[in-house]
């Protein structure tokens, strides 16, 4: 069910989920600026706590270790009671516990983008652990399309609201999100929400 008016959200979280390259961090900063709320990025928090980049965590500790750190960060952020915009790592929705805690503690907004938009935005694949080894643009696009197919049902399950991105600035997307939150005009994700 879509969230109610903004005043009802004053003590909750706005969780921005979506694939890498969807603009969660940039939109998160823009949304926080418009709403006057603090913003946190789960990947940056994990990096700060580990003293390593996400790529280094994947390489040195493995993806399962990263996912445990990510889940702990999500749970910690959900436990607070002051307003907050949270940009969530693209794979966090893979864990049912993360989906549950995000939905229960605030409004989950899925920033949805087509695979070709994501690949264009990502640029060099080497900086993204899940794209490591992709051969050229075609390899990256195939890998992104595979990840989208795998994760889309989970984003749909987690989301209260869906915003299609890829056309327009981060501020435009943030204004759309804010309008959806403020007016309860959110579009439930296809297939339920």
Q: What is the pLDDT of residue 11?
A: 45
Q: Which residues lie below 8 Å from residue 93, measured CB to CB, with a gap of 6+?
A: 17, 99, 151, 154, 155, 157, 158
pLDDT of residue 81: 82
**Average of per-residue pLDDT across 118-141:** 60
Secondary structure (H, E, C), the chain: CCCCCHHHHCCCEEEEECCCCCCHHHHHHHHHHHHCCCEEEHHHHHHHHHCCCHHHHHHHHCHHHHHHHHHHHHHHHHHCCCCEEEECCCCHHHCHHHHHHHHHHEEEEEEECCHHHHHHHHCCHHHCHHHCCCCHHHHHHHHHHHHHHHHHHHHHHHCCEEEECCCCCHHHHHHHHHHHHHHCCCCCCCCCC
Predicted local distance difference test score (pLDDT) of residue 182: 81
pLDDT tens by residue, 1-25: 333 333 344 447 999 999 988 999 9
Residue 93: pLDDT over 70: yes
Confidence of residue 124 (pLDDT cuts 50, 70, 90): low
| Per-residue pLDDT reduced to its tens digit, 131-141 | 555 555 566 67
Q: Average pLDDT for residues 104-123, to the nearest whole number?
A: 85
pLDDT at 168: 82
User: What domains can be seen in the chain, in order of their start residue?
Assistant: 6-183 (3.40.50.300)
As a whole number, the mean pLDDT across the chain is 82
- pLDDT tens for each residue of 15-54: 999 998 899 999 999 999 999 999 999 999 999 999 999 8
**pLDDT for res 127:** 53
**Interval 80-85 mean pLDDT:** 89
């Amino acid at each position: 069910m879509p969230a109610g008016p903004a005043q009802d959200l004053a003590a909750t979280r706005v969780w921005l989920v979506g694939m890498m390259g969807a603009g969660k961090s940039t939109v998160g900063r823009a949304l926080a600026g418009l709403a006057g709320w603090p913003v946190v990025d789960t990947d940056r928090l994990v990096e700060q706590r580990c003293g390593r980049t996400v790529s280094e965590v994947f390489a040195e500790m493995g993806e399962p270790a990263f996912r445990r750190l990510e889940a702990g960060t999500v749970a910690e952020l959900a436990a607070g009671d002051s307003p907050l915009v949270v940009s969530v790592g693209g794979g966090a929705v893979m864990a049912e516990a993360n989906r549950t805690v995000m939905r229960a503690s605030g409004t989950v907004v899925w920033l949805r983008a087509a695979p070709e938009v994501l690949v264009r935005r990502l640029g060099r694949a080497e900086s993204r652990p899940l794209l490591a080894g992709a051969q050229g643009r075609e390899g990256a696009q195939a890998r992104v399309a595979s990840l989208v197919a795998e994760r889309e049902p989970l984003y749909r399950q987690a989301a209260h609201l869906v915003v299609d991105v890829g056309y327009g600035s981060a501020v435009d997307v943030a204004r759309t999100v804010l309008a959806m939150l403020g007016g309860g005009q959110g579009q439930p994700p296809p297939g339920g929400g």
